[in-house]
Amino acid sequence: MRKPLVFLLSGLLGLMVALPTVASAADPTTTLAQAAPGATKKFESKEQNLYFEYPAAWKVAPPEPRGVLKNEIMNVKVTPGTATNFLLAVYKLDAPVDMNNPEASETYFDQLNADVTEWVTKLPGGTMQDASDISVDDVDGWEFSYDYDQGGTLIHADMILLPKDDKMYEVTQWALDDEYDTQSDTFDDIFSSLRLPWTPPA
């Protein structure tokens, strides 16, 4: 059975420790740090006030425009160098989404669903599998599951989109379809370490 994204942000935040940092040449507001050998590395964007930990053997991939939504501010992708990837992206919204207004949020979700579905169908062999409401650390958002073809191989991906204030946060993970379940524990660990701007400090 394919495991969904696991949202355990607050439980593991207390386990995080202060780590030495080095500046990233690509973004002076972004820092990378490494924990003890064989453990984890940490990606941190001080400008966006977010960070997450990922396996020490993984690397930060060169940035490429994500393009799921317009007005992209940043994205970062970590990978072991295979089809397995974990990505975080931030987009600027034209206007904040009023989640306390059911009619406005439903209208926004309908448009978002159409936009994401259109983006998925433009992928080689892209097929939307499921879309559902979700909440991450008390922020309501949406989860999308989809498949696409990469060089003749089926890829499965799960994406969540979280609107907060004037930004949208995307968290996506993907792997070869027949390997996705074996990677799910690693994905869960990365996601559980993720601190978003509204997450209380550890």
Confirm whether 199 is domain-assigned: no
The answer as to whether 201 is a domain residue is no
Within-domain flag for 202: no
174 part of a folded domain: yes
Tell me, yes or no, whether 109 lies in a domain: yes
What string of DSSP letters covers the chain? -PPPP---HHHHHTT------EE-SS-TTEEEEE-STTSEEEEEETTTTEEEEEETT-EEPPP----SSSSEEEEEEEESSSS-EEEEEEEE-SS---TT-HHHHHHHHHHHHHHHHHHHHTSTT-EEEEEEEEEETTEEEEEEEEEEEETTEEEEEEEEEEEETTEEEEEEEEEETTTHHHHHHHHHHHHHH-B-TTSPP-
pLDDT for the residue numbered 202: 64
* Per-residue confidence (pLDDT) for residue 199, from 0 to 100: 86
pLDDT score for 63: 83
pTM of the model: 0.81
Asked whether residue 3 is domain-assigned, the answer is no
The answer to the question of residue 116 being in a domain is yes
Determine the pLDDT at residue 29: 39
Domain coverage including residue 111:
9-193
pLDDT on residue 180 = 97
Q: Taking the CB of residue 107, how many other CB atoms lie within 10 A of it?
A: 12
Tokens of 65: 């425009």
* Residue 75 lies inside a defined structural domain of this protein: yes
Domain count, the chain: 1
What is the pLDDT tens value at each position of the chain, 202 positions in all?
Answer: 354 554 444 443 333 333 333 333 334 333 333 334 448 999 999 999 999 999 999 999 998 999 999 999 999 999 999 999 999 999 999 989 888 888 988 999 999 999 999 999 999 999 999 999 999 999 999 999 999 999 999 999 999 999 999 999 999 999 999 999 999 999 999 999 999 999 877 6
Nearest to 70 by CA among 88, 89, 92: 92
The CATH number given to whatever domain includes residue 90 is 3.40.1000.10
